[in-house]
Amino acid sequence: MTRTNDTYPFAIQDSDGAPIARTGLPVVVIGAGPVGLAAAHLLDRGLEPLVLEAGSQVGANIAQWGHVRLFSPWCLALDPVSVRLLEQSGWTGPDPDALPTGADLLEDYLTPLAALPALASRIRVHTRVVAVARRDVDKVRSPARDQLPFLVRVRDPHGQLRDLQARAVLDASGTWTQPNPLGASGLPALGESDAGARITYGLPDIGGHDRDRYAGRRTVVVGAGHSAATSLLALAELQQQAPGTEVVWAVRSATPRPLVGKGSAQADELPARGRLATDLAALVEAGRIELVSGFRIHTVEPVGDRVRLAGDHFHGDDAIQAQDLVVEADAVIAATRFRPDHSIAAELRLTLEPALESAVALGPIIDPNVHTCGTVPVHGIAELVHPEPGYVVVGMKSYGRAPTFLLATGYQQVRSVVAALAGDHDGALHRDQGLPAAALCAVNRDLLAGAQRRRQLLPSLPTASSGKMAALGGTAADWSAATCCPYL
């Protein structure tokens, strides 16, 4: 059975109609993070998953930022099908309104999920996917290519290359290992690689094992998102403990919009995120953080034990009157977001939105020039499809360079894609054009409450519109408009 959307056709054959469906080949899922482990949807549909993880454990990328607390609550971090699978094993879920750290997400959700016998036997760690193709044909050949299985080339735990076959491939590998460079033009700044020893990309553990790198030193944080704010506040706390710690905040925009949320703990539906913006503004006002706005970095140069950033300095929106600017520091934290790497699919037929590098149909509804995560509607297979039937990118990588991703969105994507693979084309369609987070939060709160009541651990839990969630400043509907990039 073949269906089309307005951009490209996608073909998902009924289980009795396609040769590849009768072979019993697995659906390969690349990546064992939260969206990858939503492979539980495949089991729920009677399909065979094989989850391939390059790291040494499930959630290997999350383990690198385990010290970071999410701005959004547990109810938005859980996949409902996975919760039901866990609940059947006797798992007791977390408080749906608590704010987990990355370590909590890993230890209290992903690790127990991966340990379930139904999933554990279908997960391979230390297994890196290096390429995906159609068996026996390159990307040029068209006749009957959609009837051929996928060939998934991996490097196994022993370092050997092996070829696996799959009926479909879901790439949930994310973008964590592909940070954007410091250079303002999207290219690495001149000399950036030579100064790599003094640059950290992502979210260092400033108050923990990375403390000595920053204590008593001058650090420049480059970026204007949640990750930058998290590192700036951690450096400000370190500043209180270690005299001589200096903090510089460099942003490209000369007239930046409010950093996150609604700019204050009082106005923001996510109080933790609102406090982030409030505290950061206070630190800048007090002079503890030096703000350098309108800074476009072009060169990075090691200078003795320090690093020198040089580029253009814009005042207001006047691009004509740019001046040269040099900033020196002992260390640089590049919180410049991430980008996708599609190189493993070089022999597949992909069509990418030219600016974001997402699937073409997805681009307009996630464009960060127009949307925040709170305005991105529910979407699924119709928006994720490529001209290569059966290959779908899900999760953060599906958004390409757009920073508007929600875990709730990723779980919805997997639900739709798996329904299509199972031949349930009606189930793969959107039930409405609304926002995904509110519904997910309400469903997960009900699941967790029901499980706890059955175990008589709690007599009851408040509903989505009362109790602790209301005390935190929002209903289930509020979360949908407030929760961007919940694990960054």
Token pair of 370 as six digits: 């127009």
Please name the amino acid found at residue 294. G
The closest alpha carbon to 110, from 126, 96, 91, 97, belongs to 91
Token pair of 444 as six digits: 């997960």
Angle at 328 between CA 326 and CA 332, to 5 degrees: 115
Rg (CA), the chain: 23
Residue 121, classified by CB atoms within 10 Å of its CB into exposed (0-12), middle (13-18) or buried (19+), is: exposed
Q: Strands 168-171 and 199-201: what pairing?
A: unpaired
Q: Alpha-carbon distance 386 to 428, whole Å? A: 16
Please name the amino acid found at residue 276. L
Contact present, 351 and 330 (Cβ < 8 Å): no
Question: pTM of the prediction?
Answer: 0.86
- The tens-digit pLDDT sequence of the chain (488 residues) is 343 443 333 444 433 344 444 358 999 999 999 999 999 999 999 999 999 999 999 999 999 999 998 877 899 899 999 999 999 999 989 999 899 999 999 999 999 999 999 999 999 999 999 999 999 999 999 999 999 999 999 999 999 999 999 999 999 999 999 999 999 999 999 999 999 999 999 999 999 999 999 999 999 999 988 889 899 999 999 999 999 999 999 999 876 554 544 454 445 545 556 567 788 888 998 999 999 999 999 999 999 999 999 999 987 655 556 789 999 999 999 999 999 999 999 999 999 999 999 999 999 999 988 877 667 888 999 999 999 999 999 999 999 999 888 888 999 999 999 999 999 988 898 765 556 666 777 787 888 877 766 665 544 444 333 333 333 334 444 444 444 444 33
3-state secondary structure (DSSP) of residue 284? helix
Q: List, in sequence order, every residue forming a beta bridge with 154; answer none if it has no partner.
A: 129, 162
3-state secondary structure (DSSP) of residue 303? strand
Contact present, 202 and 67 (Cβ < 8 Å): no
The closest alpha carbon to 276, from 290, 288, 258, 292, belongs to 258
Q: How many residues does the chain have?
A: 488
Long-range contacts of 361-365 (CB under 8 A, 24+ apart): 361/5, 361/6, 361/7, 361/8, 361/385, 362/398, 362/399, 363/400
Contact present, 24 and 30 (Cβ < 8 Å): no
The closest alpha carbon to 301, from 292, 293, 311, belongs to 311
Sheet holding 295-303, edge to edge: 295-303, 306-315, 318-329
Q: How far apart are the first and last CA of the chain?
A: 39
3-state secondary structure (DSSP) of residue 272? helix
Kindly give the residue spans of alpha helices, DSSP state H, lying in 204-350.
211-214, 226-241, 271-285
Residue indicated by tokens 């950036």: 192
> How many CA atoms does the CB half-sphere of 338 hold within 13 Å?
24
